[in-house]
Structure 1
Amino acid sequence: MILLTDDLRACLLANGLRRGADHIPVVKLFNPMGAATWLATELDRDGDTLFGLADLGFGCPELGAFSLSELASLRLPFGLGIERDLLFEAAHPLSVYADAAHRTGSIMDGIRRLAMADGVPRQSR
């Protein structure tokens, strides 16, 4: 799967030029065989370094940088790799997702809690 379309890449790069802003996540990436999830808001000029919220499934999501090429190169069982959530539409700035994730221990539980508070049903993955 292509993790970033040209439109997503352009949006992430534009956000990367406006560092310090509390951007709305542009893309959600996930491990289809595990709990790892990433919400990316910015892409550095190097075209590889993403910034956002990362959750490897150990109960301590954190803000920081991660490598697009490393995520794209991961090979999981059954020929799977990291995937992009095609249905993800962010409704809040990254700080809100980060706060919800820290309170619940995971990005996905945080997204579910926010969706319930918003009164909007969200997909489970």
Structure 2
Amino acid sequence: MQALQHLHLALPRLAQFYLKAIFVFPQAITMTFLTDEQRLRMLANGAARTRGETIDPLPVVKLYTLDAGAAWLLTELDADEDRAFGLCDAGTGSPELGQVSLSALEGVRGPRGMRIVADPHFKPRQPLSGYLADAQRDGSIND
């Protein structure tokens, strides 16, 4: 651990994060889909639903496959920071609301071996219920 304290001076910020994630916080490596801000917003939405509040939040993050037709618009994160809730589209024509394990998605690869990624340009334009209605009508998430 002491070696890590001195090594940080010679490494770029991104390398410092990954080094710390691997050696200090191994669970953090599974959170590569979410920024800290997104994670906090999703945890707050999850806590609100756990308290019994009726919520219809804007999606916080869009995940998608680069080489297949699957996509996820996620709004909430459980306290375990692994189970996320949102609109899930496996690319089969039947998008639905449900939960997904972020750690399980980390290991998924498309037909060409490509990972699932977060869309850095995603800007929600309506609450999750609007995306659900559109996706059920269209048979896929189109955003």
Matched, 1:8 2:42: no
| 1:78-117 paired onto structure 2 within 5 Å | 80-108=114-142, 111=143
CA RMSD of aligned residues (A): 1.5
- Partner residue in 1 for 2:25: none
TM-score of the superposed pair, with normalisation by structure 2: 0.72
Higher helix share: 2
Q: Is the 8 A contact 2:67 2:112 kept in 1?
A: no
- Partner residue in 2 for 1:30: 64
State the one-letter code of the partner of 1:63.
L
| 1:2-81 paired onto structure 2 within 5 Å | 2-19=32-49, 20-76=54-110, 80-81=114-115
Q: Which has the higher contact order (CA 8 A, sep 6+)?
A: 1
State the one-letter code of the partner of 1:3.
F
State the one-letter code of the partner of 1:9.
R
Percent of residue pairs bearing the same amino acid type: 50
TM-score of the superposed pair, with normalisation by structure 1: 0.82
Residue 5 of structure 1 and its aligned partner are, at CA, apart by: 1.1
- Partner residue in 1 for 2:7: none
Q: Is the 8 A contact 2:62 2:122 kept in 1?
A: yes
Residue 80 of structure 1 and its aligned partner are, at CA, apart by: 2.3
Task: Provide the C-alpha distance between the structure 1 equivalents of 2:44 and 2:112, rounded to a whole number of angstroms.
Answer: 36
Task: Provide the C-alpha distance between the structure 2 equivalents of 1:42 and 1:85, rounded to a whole number of angstroms.
Answer: 17
Q: Which structure 1 residue ranges, 4+ long, deviate > 2 Å from structure 2?
A: 75-80
State the one-letter code of the partner of 1:8.
Q
Deviations 1:11-68 (A, max 9, x none): 1001111113001000000010000000000000011000000001110000011111
- Partner residue in 1 for 2:10: none
Task: Provide the C-alpha distance between the structure 1 equivalents of 2:110 and 2:128, rounded to a whole number of angstroms.
Answer: 28
Task: Provide the C-alpha distance between the structure 1 equivalents of 2:48 and 2:83, rounded to a whole number of angstroms.
Answer: 15
Point out where structure 1 has 5 or more consecutive residues left out of the alignment. 112-125
